[in-house]
Amino acid sequence: MDATIDVIAELGYSRTSFARIIDKAGLSSTRMISYHFESKSELIMVTLMALIDHHDRFVDERTEPTEDRAALLQSFLRAEISYLATHPRHGRALAEIATHAGNEDGSPMFELVAHDLRLGRLTRQLTQGQREGRFADFDAEIMARTIQHALEELAQQLADDPNLDLQHYADEIIRLFTRATGAV
């Protein structure tokens, strides 16, 4: 699993293969993978589920529980940025899979998974904040997608510049989305 994450993070989804994973893991044969997984798609699905589980546990543990939706959004953003800072290869691999993995027919392989797990919860939180009068009127799904894109861009920036000032980035992202949501 670690070798799969590393290869995807380093080379991108399209250049990931059993052979490259075997090489990264230091194994002797692709049969070591094909014994457990029938296809690259199956291996990637299991990897995606492991990445999402790892991500969600990290973020959930670091998001301060509160009834205040604006404070919850700020805490969530800090936890997300902290995850990317401490697990950059995981963040990059997750973004690669969600963006580039497809079925044999060319349709997005993980669209439903990525939508429900990555965007659904945030969309519901934003919608609930609107109902409670904590957020302005906006399309909650578009806002959730915009937040997710900003976080995915940060994963790419961290890959390009590991010395990025994350504290400044976190502060700016939080200010930006606090204003964009009209948080009160």
At 22-43, the pLDDT tens digits run: 999 888 887 778 788 888 888 8
In the chain, % of residues over pLDDT 90: 49
- Long-range (24+ apart) CB contacts under 8 A made by 3-8 are 4/43, 4/44, 4/47, 4/93, 5/47, 5/51, 5/89, 5/90, 5/93, 6/89, 6/93, 8/47, 8/92, 8/93, 8/96, 8/97
pTM of the complete model:
0.84
pLDDT band at residue 111 using 50, 70 and 90 as cut-offs: low
